[in-house]
């Protein structure tokens, strides 16, 4: 029997009728943007809502441990959007202190204070240019009178990356005022955190060409004397997530052992708290990450990733580490909530992320449940860890990793399913072993999906992450080709119907994998990907303006490598049909990248479809655009692979040139 009650085993793979339509993908869809206890028995979390234009609303669950005992309230006005543009990727757009909620609004990037009665005070000055000053990642002094946060200053509209200044500033927490610069001089700052007595400030900093997962420094300043102490970090060490303890010590993450583990600084020396061959930290693409927290009795609760799967663990005061028995495989925003519990955002292979309260004995209370999609759990494709042989930058064999999602049914006995190779962004990101309805959109129709954790991905230690150093466009491409061939050689997918898709950095890997004579792929989908590395090096935002130094080489000294690695350079090898999807307000990978590859393929007569979405930035947030992008990609594969679209879904065809 098919996954949704009708016989589909006799229908061709790809054409199966399914309840998982693009309409279901966006119906009541939210992306949970962190969670924080409010200190009064309630919990606040952020919801980025696709059906409301992708805006982020803050939601409060009132007193009471169980959702049915509290009151759920939207805190912000209907036109508000708690989202910051710092680093373009944002994060840390809101925080709490007492009854007050502090948040940055996307419209003007000004910082606001919201009181319990709903009144709002704008704390930062009106910017000289639209979104000229951006704020994020704040912390409030113990007495509530002032705060510190990150400010990203854009001196003029369209200012180049070299003119943008990132600093830590001090602000009045109760009234409008002029920011006072507290920390400046480095290219980037993050995680300003005030000690419990308000006398010391900890923060993380780094300089070009490093990224926050490469080389960062953790500094503590005595605010009375101005004396700075470097606690940890430097070349070859990534530190982050500083958290002050009630006794005045400082916990933080460091990858000095090759894994992001947990350490303690007592004011004089650093000592390890948790040392495991697993990643407690995550790459700081967004600000204000939280993967560890401390309970009142000194126990530490932390999330850790091993072989691509997360788990939650507790470190007792005697150093004993116990892993909790939970179903969750993707965990973030871990924060203490009472004497023996944490709240977090967590999901599993059969459940989307929700907000959960988890006690140290493993008891789970769901505060914000995932969507009820009405799906039989038996119909959900669960990922299988896949390790396969690939090659490094020198061609030597090495292991690579992926998650494979088989089709939801066996299908016709005389046919193998098409394969969709998915590449995550970053390229320092990772495949997430959590229910993604966009993945099930494909598997429920008869596609196999392999989500590749190529060399350079997070979750396998620093050495694996650094396999992409100087080798972007080589190692990642080799791993995607190897994953597809491994599944084809095992007889699990049809080698003649393999497609590759990716967004942003994954879009670059997609294009690079197609712009070669030996590509095994018969179709591709490029979501706002990079076609011209040289153009990206010259025209991108500050946060990533030197990222390619580590992935490719310093520019312009290594210009020859940039040209050679760019897919646009090798369009004469490009014979694979391609669909390209792009937002017209993307500041990270501008539309000219997509337009360059589309125009080149047009000239060569290669089948190409191009959809440009108005009002979208880096990644699609609006429900109507998410739907159109998914359905257009399906229609494209149907044309290329020769299967019929399921009846009744009203999927519009996508115009294909050539």
The residue length of the chain stands at: 658
- Collapse the DSSP code of 93 into the 3-class scheme (helix H, G, I; strand E, B; otherwise coil) and give the result: coil
- Encode pLDDT of 19-64 as tens digits: 999 999 988 789 999 999 998 889 999 999 988 988 999 999 987 5
* CA separation for the pair 38, 491 (Å, rounded): 53
Q: What are phi and psi of 416, to 5 degrees?
A: -105, 150
Token match 């290594």: residue? Answer: 558
* CA separation for the pair 37, 227 (Å, rounded): 33
The mean pLDDT value for 589-599 works out to 89
Tell me, rounded to whole angstroms, the distance of Cα 603 from its chain centroid. Answer: 35
- Collapse the DSSP code of 369 into the 3-class scheme (helix H, G, I; strand E, B; otherwise coil) and give the result: coil
Task: Identify the band that residue 424 occupies on the pLDDT scale cut at 50, 70 and 90.
Answer: very high
Element (H, E) at 143: none
The mean pLDDT value for 229-242 works out to 98
Sheet holding 239-244, edge to edge: 239-244, 250-254, 261-265, 270-274
3-state secondary structure 306-357: ECCEEEEEEECCCCCEEECCCCCCEEEEEEECCCCEEEEEEEECCEEEEEEE
Q: Quick one: which of 631, 583, 638, 582 has its CA closest to 610? A: 582
In this structure, what token pair is assigned to residue 87? 């680093």
DSSP string across 490-502: TTSS-TTSEEEEE
With a cut of 60, say whether residue 6 has pLDDT above it: no
pLDDT reported for residue 1: 28
3-state secondary structure 6-34: CCCCCCCCCCCCCCCCHHHHHCCCEEEEE
**Torsion sign (Cα): 235, 240, 244, 247:** negative
Residue 183 CB burial class (10 angstroms; 0-12, 13-18, ≥19): buried
Task: Identify the band that residue 378 occupies on the pLDDT scale cut at 50, 70 and 90.
Answer: confident
With a cut of 70, say whether residue 201 has pLDDT above it: yes
Tell me the CATH number for domain 375-641: 3.40.50.1820
pLDDT reported for residue 64: 55
* CA separation for the pair 523, 609 (Å, rounded): 11
Token match 């599944």: residue? Answer: 487
Task: Identify the band that residue 587 occupies on the pLDDT scale cut at 50, 70 and 90.
Answer: confident
* Helical packing angle, 505-514 and 475-489, nearest 10°: 70
Q: What are phi and psi of 401, to 5 degrees?
A: -135, 155
Element (H, E) at 344: strand 341-348
For residues 15 and 69, which has the higher predicted lDDT (pLDDT)? 15
pLDDT reported for residue 495: 98
Task: Identify the band that residue 561 occupies on the pLDDT scale cut at 50, 70 and 90.
Answer: very high
Least reliable range by pLDDT among 210-219, 292-301, 393-402, 617-626: 617-626
With a cut of 60, say whether residue 68 has pLDDT above it: no
- Collapse the DSSP code of 58 into the 3-class scheme (helix H, G, I; strand E, B; otherwise coil) and give the result: strand
* CA separation for the pair 427, 405 (Å, rounded): 21
- Collapse the DSSP code of 507 into the 3-class scheme (helix H, G, I; strand E, B; otherwise coil) and give the result: helix
pLDDT reported for residue 65: 47
pLDDT reported for residue 69: 55
With a cut of 90, say whether residue 599 has pLDDT above it: yes
pLDDT reported for residue 9: 64
What does the mean pLDDT of the chain come to?
94
In eight-state DSSP terms, residue 287 is B
- Encode pLDDT of 510-523 as tens digits: 999 999 999 999 99
With a cut of 50, say whether residue 407 has pLDDT above it: yes
- Encode pLDDT of 140-176 as tens digits: 999 999 999 999 999 988 788 899 999 999 999 999 9
**Is the preceding peptide bond at 209 cis, omega within 30 degrees of 0?**
yes
* CA separation for the pair 369, 352 (Å, rounded): 9
Q: Model pTM?
A: 0.93
What are the domain boundaries of the chain?
A: 375-641
């Amino acid at each position: 029997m098919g996954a949704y009650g009708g016989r589909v085993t006799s229908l061709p793979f790809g054409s199966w009728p399914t309840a998982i339509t693009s309409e279901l993908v966006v119906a009541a869809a939210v992306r949970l943007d962190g969670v924080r206890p409010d200190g009064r028995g309630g919990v606040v979390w952020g919801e980025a809502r696709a059906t409301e234009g992708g805006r982020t609303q803050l939601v409060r669950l009132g007193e009471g441990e169980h959702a049915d005992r509290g009151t759920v309230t939207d805190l912000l006005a209907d036109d508000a959007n708690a989202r910051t543009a710092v680093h373009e990727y944002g994060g840390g757009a809101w925080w709490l202190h007492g009854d007050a909620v502090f948040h940055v609004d996307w419209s003007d990037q000004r910082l606001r204070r919201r009181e319990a009665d709903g009144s709002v005070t704008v704390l930062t000055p009106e910017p000289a240019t639209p979104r000229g000053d951006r704020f994020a990642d704040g912390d409030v002094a113990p007495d509530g009178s002032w705060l510190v946060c990150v400010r990203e200053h854009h001196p003029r509209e369209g200012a180049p990356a070299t003119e943008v200044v990132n600093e830590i500033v001090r602000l009045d927490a109760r009234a409008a005022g002029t920011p006072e610069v507290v920390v400046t001089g480095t290219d980037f700052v993050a995680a300003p955190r005030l000690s419990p007595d308000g006398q010391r400030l900890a923060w993380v900093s780094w300089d070009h060409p490093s990224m926050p997962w490469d080389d960062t420094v953790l500094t503590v300043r005595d605010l009375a004397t101005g004396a700075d102490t470097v606690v940890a970090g430097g070349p070859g060490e990534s530190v982050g997530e500083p958290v002050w303890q009630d006794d005045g010590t400082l916990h933080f993450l460091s990858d000095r052992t090759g894994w992001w583990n947990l350490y303690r600084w007592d004011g004089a020396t650093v000592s390890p708290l948790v040392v495991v061959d697993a990643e407690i930290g995550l790459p700081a693409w967004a600000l204000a990450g939280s993967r560890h927290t401390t309970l009142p009795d000194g126990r530490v609760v932390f999330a850790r990733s091993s072989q691509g799967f997360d788990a939650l663990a507790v470190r007792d005061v005697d150093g004993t580490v116990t892993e909790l028995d939970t179903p969750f495989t993707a965990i973030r925003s871990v924060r203490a909530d009472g004497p023996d519990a944490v709240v977090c955002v967590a999901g599993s292979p059969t459940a989307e992320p929700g907000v959960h309260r988890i006690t140290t004995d493993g008891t789970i209370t769901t505060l914000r449940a995932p969507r009820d999609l009405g799906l039989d759990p038996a119909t959900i494709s669960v990922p299988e860890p896949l390790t396969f042989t690939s090659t490094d930058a020198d061609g030597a064999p090495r292991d690579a990793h992926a998650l494979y999602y088989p089709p939801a049914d066996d299908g016709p006995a005389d046919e193998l399913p098409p394969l969709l190779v998915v590449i995550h962004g970053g390229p320092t990101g990772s495949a997430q072993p959590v229910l993604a309805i966009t993945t099930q959109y494909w598997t429920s129709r008869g596609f196999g999906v392999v989500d590749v954790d190529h060399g350079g991905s997070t979750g396998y230690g620093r050495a694996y992450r650094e396999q992409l150093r100087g080798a972007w466009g080589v190692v990642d491409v080799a791993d995607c080709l190897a994953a597809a061939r491994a599944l084809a050689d095992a007889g699990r997918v049809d080698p003649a119907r393999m497609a590759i898709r990716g967004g942003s950095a994954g879009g670059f890997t997609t294009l690079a994998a197609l712009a070669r004579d030996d590509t095994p792929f018969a179709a591709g989908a490029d979501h706002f990907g990079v076609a011209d590395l040289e153009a990206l090096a010259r025209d991108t935002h500050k946060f990533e303006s030197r990222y390619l130094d580590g992935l490719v080489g310093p520019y312009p000294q290594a210009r020859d490598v940039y040209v050679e690695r760019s897919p646009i350079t090798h369009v004469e090898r490009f014979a694979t049909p391609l669909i390209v999807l792009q937002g017209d307000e993307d500041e990270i990978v501008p539309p000219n990248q997509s337009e360059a590859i589309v125009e080149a393929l047009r000239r060569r007569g290669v089948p190409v479809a191009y959809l440009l979405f108005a009002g979208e930035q880096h990644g699609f947030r609006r429900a109507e655009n998410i739907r159109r992008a998914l359905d257009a990609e399906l229609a494209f594969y149907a044309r290329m692979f020769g299967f019929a679209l399921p009846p009744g879904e009203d999927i519009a065809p996508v115009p294909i040139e050539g």
